[in-house]
């Protein structure tokens, strides 16, 4: 009476619906994780995997295995095509069932469809559960039953719904009986947790701490230090992030979204002012953005491979390789853009305000296809998540569902507003540290100053490019 829990992006024990239901079967429960070469080698058209992300994941897996072992069972690792591998594992162990938590990405859904079919062939029961979001994609819809395409009405409907409670953390698990022949043959097939280099990666980023404990610490810090209450005022200043830094943990499920929601409910008890109430509500709105993008990707899977708006499907991009390389390296000559790209390259995380600035710059100033940026982000972001990333890029490129389409950020005025002391720029571009704040934020560092400091001159003129983008945007509209 064995249940196998197939972990993918739910790398935790507590508040885990698939594991919770497996335990309820009153038999043995083991966890498995399959390293999928399609994902690791970025083989599918819409899949890009970066070293920082894999490094973080390996840290989470190590901790998850230890947690399984502490409770009396184990997490076993395998490598190969998921459908074939899981069928083989279930057969070898003579398992009664396989449980897993659902995903919304088109690639993952197709993988799961294949795995379910392979398990059905050998008569193994399969069940999947909602875990990624508080509400399933079909649970939030317009009055006419269609999915929302606009965030604000989605939010109204989402916030009005009762939220599920976190699930209890298991106190113990029943593992395999190590003396049986099934146990011995599965051990022969399982692999040890690979090192990063074994998977063909090397990581030079200083990534956030992985794992369940780090996730809980992030959530606790965010709530205990009142950042949650100050969120509305503080969330836009990248020098001193007033945000939770939970994104890599929500990406890999080292914390459950029900537990995160519960923390917001607990925080409501301590609200002392309208501003604090607004701070908490604004943060909840971010959690709703996350679910909005998951729901739209589920309902409109074509978003993963192209622009939603037809006008942007025919838009004429420049796609200049040299300018793209300068953007990637943080050498565009626009300090706020370069600071942000260097933060991304060095740490695997970038502040949300800066994600919007660099995405606008790539698409509206360099007139480079947003999908290049989307891919680069997936290579470098530890929190790289197809739904949020694609949603963010389509929003920035004016190619998505957003009703206010043409949004062009002026990098200099963004810097003046959100990095008014130049602290963020100085931190990431040390060669400019000696300039005065007025010089840094002038949007006009002189050629002499650039030369002396080995910093590039702006590679494009914002005013010129903005006009050019608008012209092409109008042209694309007329051509339809
Ligand atoms: P907080 O401000 O503390 O927010 C809490 C959580 O809400 C985040 O951890 C995240 O899960 C979610 N969230 C917040 N803002 C958004 C948003 N705009 N859209 C969706 N979810 C949100 N987020 C990712 O998790 N992965 C990505 O790959 C990603 N790519 C992005 C690309 C672009 C071009 C843009 C503009 C945004 C992107 N975001 C992405 C959204 C957002 O920038 C990050 O979620 C946020 O910066 C993470 O920091 P935090 O955990 O401190 O967020």
Of 125, 216, 234, 286, which one is the catalytic site residue?
286
What is the CATH topology of the domain spanning 1-131? Answer: Rossmann fold (3.40.50)
pLDDT value at residue 377: 98
Each residue's pLDDT tens digit, 414-456: 999 999 999 999 999 999 999 999 999 988 899 999 999 999 9
**Ligand 1: distance of its center to the CA of 401 in Å?**
18
pLDDT value at residue 42: 86
**Ligand 1: distance of its center to the CA of 316 in Å?**
28
Is 222 buried (19+), middle (13-18) or exposed (0-12) by CB count in 10 A?
A: buried
pLDDT value at residue 44: 83
Of 317, 331, 423, 468, which one is the catalytic site residue?
317
> Is 370 one of the annotated active-site residues of the chain?
yes
> Domain 133-163+212-299, CATH 2.30.31.70 — does that match?
no
pLDDT value at residue 284: 98
> Is 349 one of the annotated active-site residues of the chain?
no
pLDDT value at residue 444: 83
Q: What is the mean pLDDT of the chain?
A: 96
| Residue whose CA is at the smallest distance from ligand 1 atom 43 | 352
**Ligand 1: distance of its center to the CA of 394 in Å?**
14
Of 125, 182, 230, 352, which one is the catalytic site residue?
352
Each residue's pLDDT tens digit, 119-146: 999 999 999 999 999 999 999 999 999 9
The C-alpha atoms of residue 250 and residue 255 are separated, in whole angstroms, by: 6
**Ligand 1: distance of its center to the CA of 360 in Å?**
16
Task: Say whether pTM exceeds 0.90.
Answer: yes
> Is 94 one of the annotated active-site residues of the chain?
no
pLDDT value at residue 241: 86
Q: Is the Cβ–Cβ distance between 15 and 258 less than 8 Å?
A: yes
Each residue's pLDDT tens digit, 161-218: 999 999 999 999 999 988 899 999 999 999 999 999 999 999 999 999 999 999 999 9
pLDDT value at residue 230: 96
Terminal-residue alpha carbon distance, the chain: 60
Domain regions of the chain by residue span: 1-131, 133-163+212-299, 310-478
ipTM: 0.99
The C-alpha atoms of residue 162 and residue 51 are separated, in whole angstroms, by: 38
**Does residue 18 sit in helix, strand or coil?**
helix
Of 158, 370, 372, 395, which one is the catalytic site residue?
370
| Sequential DSSP letters for 246-314 | -HHHHHHTSS-HHHHHHHHHHHHTT--SHHHHHHHHHHHHHHHHHHHHHHHHHH-GGGGGS-SSHHHHS
**Does residue 240 sit in helix, strand or coil?**
coil
Measured CA to CA in angstroms, residue 50 lies from 42, 76, 380, 431 at distances of 9, 23, 6, 28
- Compute the chain's Rg from CA coordinates: 24
Q: Which CATH superfamily is domain 310-478 in?
A: DNA Cyclobutane Dipyrimidine Photolyase, subunit A, domain 3 (1.10.579.10)
Q: Which atom of ligand 1 is nearest to the CA of 287?
A: 7
Of 6, 289, 395, 428, which one is the catalytic site residue?
289
> Is 352 one of the annotated active-site residues of the chain?
yes
Of 155, 327, 349, 393, which one is the catalytic site residue?
393
- Does residue 229 register a pLDDT over 80? yes
**Ligand 1: distance of its center to the CA of 352 in Å?**
6
**Ligand 1: distance of its center to the CA of 137 in Å?**
19
Alpha helices (H) in 363-480, listed in sequence order = 370-380, 386-396, 411-418, 423-428, 437-441, 447-453, 462-478
pLDDT value at residue 249: 98
**Ligand 1: distance of its center to the CA of 384 in Å?**
9
pLDDT value at residue 94: 95
Q: Is the Cβ–Cβ distance between 295 and 154 less than 8 Å?
A: yes
pLDDT value at residue 404: 77
| Residue whose CA is at the smallest distance from ligand 1 atom 9 | 247
DSSP bridge partners of 29:
3
Pocket-testing residue among 158, 287, 352, ligand 1, by greatest number of atoms within 8 A of Cβ:
352
Tracing tokens 């909602």 back to the chain, one arrives at 130
pLDDT value at residue 479: 87
Q: Which atom of ligand 1 is nearest to the CA of 248?
A: 25
Residue 316: which pLDDT band, with cuts at 50, 70 and 90? very high
Pocket-testing residue among 225, 247, 297, 361, ligand 1, by greatest number of atoms within 8 A of Cβ:
247
Extract the tokens encoding 5: 């829990």
Query: What residues line ligand 1, using a CB cutoff of 6 Å?
Result: 235, 243-247, 250-251, 286-287, 289-290, 293, 352, 355-356, 359, 377, 381, 383-385, 388-389, 391-393, 396
> Is 327 one of the annotated active-site residues of the chain?
no
> Is 283 one of the annotated active-site residues of the chain?
no
pLDDT value at residue 178: 87
- Does residue 389 register a pLDDT over 90? yes
pLDDT value at residue 354: 98
**Ligand 1: distance of its center to the CA of 357 in Å?**
14
pLDDT value at residue 409: 96
Q: Which atom of ligand 1 is nearest to the CA of 231?
A: 2
pLDDT value at residue 292: 98
Q: Which atom of ligand 1 is nearest to the CA of 381?
A: 28
């Amino acid at each position: 009476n064995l249940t196998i829990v197939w972990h993918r992006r739910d790398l935790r024990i507590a508040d885990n619906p698939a594991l919770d239901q497996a335990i309820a079967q009153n038999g043995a429960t083991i966890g498995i994780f399959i390293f999928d070469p399609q994902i690791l080698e970025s083989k599918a058209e819409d899949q890009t995997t970066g070293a920082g992300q894999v490094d973080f994941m390996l840290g989470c897996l190590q901790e998850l295995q230890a947690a399984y072992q502490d409770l009396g069972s184990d997490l076993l690792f395998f490598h190969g095509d998921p459908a074939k591998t899981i069928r083989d594992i279930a057969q070898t162990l003579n398992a009664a069932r396989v449980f897993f938590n659902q995903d919304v990405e088109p690639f993952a859904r197709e993988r799961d469809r294949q795995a379910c079919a392979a398990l059905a062939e050998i008569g193994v029961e399969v069940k999947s559960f909602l875990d990624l979001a508080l509400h399933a994609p079909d649970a939030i819809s317009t009055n006419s039953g269609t999915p929302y395409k606009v965030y604000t009405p989605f939010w109204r409907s989402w916030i009005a719904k009762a939220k599920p409670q976190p699930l209890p953390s298991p106190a113990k698990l029943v593992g395999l009986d190590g003396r049986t022949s099934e146990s011995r043959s599965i051990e022969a097939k399982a692999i040890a947790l690979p090192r990063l280099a074994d998977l063909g990666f090397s990581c030079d980023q200083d990534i956030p701490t992985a794992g369940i404990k780090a996730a809980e610490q992030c959530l606790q810090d965010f709530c205990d230090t009142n950042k949650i209450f100050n969120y509305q005022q503080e969330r836009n200043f990248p020098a001193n992030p007033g945000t939770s830094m939970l994104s890599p943990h929500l990406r890999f499920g080292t914390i459950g979204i029900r537990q995160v929601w519960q923390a917001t409910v607990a925080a409501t008890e301590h609200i002392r002012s309208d501003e604090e109430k607004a701070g908490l509500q604004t943060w909840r709105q971010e959690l709703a953005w996350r679910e909005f993008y998951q729901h739209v990707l589920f309902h409109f899977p074509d978003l993963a491979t192209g622009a939603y708006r037809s006008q942007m499907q025919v838009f004429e991009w420049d796609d200049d390789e040299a300018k793209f390389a300068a953007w990637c390296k943080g050498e565009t000559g626009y300090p706020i853009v370069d600071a942000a790209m260097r933060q991304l390259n060095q740490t695997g995380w970038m502040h949300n305000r800066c994600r919007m600035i660099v995405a606008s710059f790539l698409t509206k100033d360099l007139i480079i296809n947003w999908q290049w940026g989307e891919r680069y982000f997936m290579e470098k972001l530890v929190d790289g998540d197809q739904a949020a990333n694609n949603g963010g890029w389509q929003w920035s490129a004016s190619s998505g569902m957003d009703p206010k389409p043409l949004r062009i950020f002026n990098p200099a005025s963004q810097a003046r507003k959100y990095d008014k002391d130049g602290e963020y720029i100085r931190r990431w571009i040390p060669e400019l540290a000696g300039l005065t704040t007025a010089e840094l934020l002038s949007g006009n560092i002189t050629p002499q100053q650039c030369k002396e400091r080995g910093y590039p001159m702006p590679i494009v003129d914002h005013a010129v490019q903005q006009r050019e983008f608008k012209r092409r945007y109008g042209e694309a509209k007329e051509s339809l």
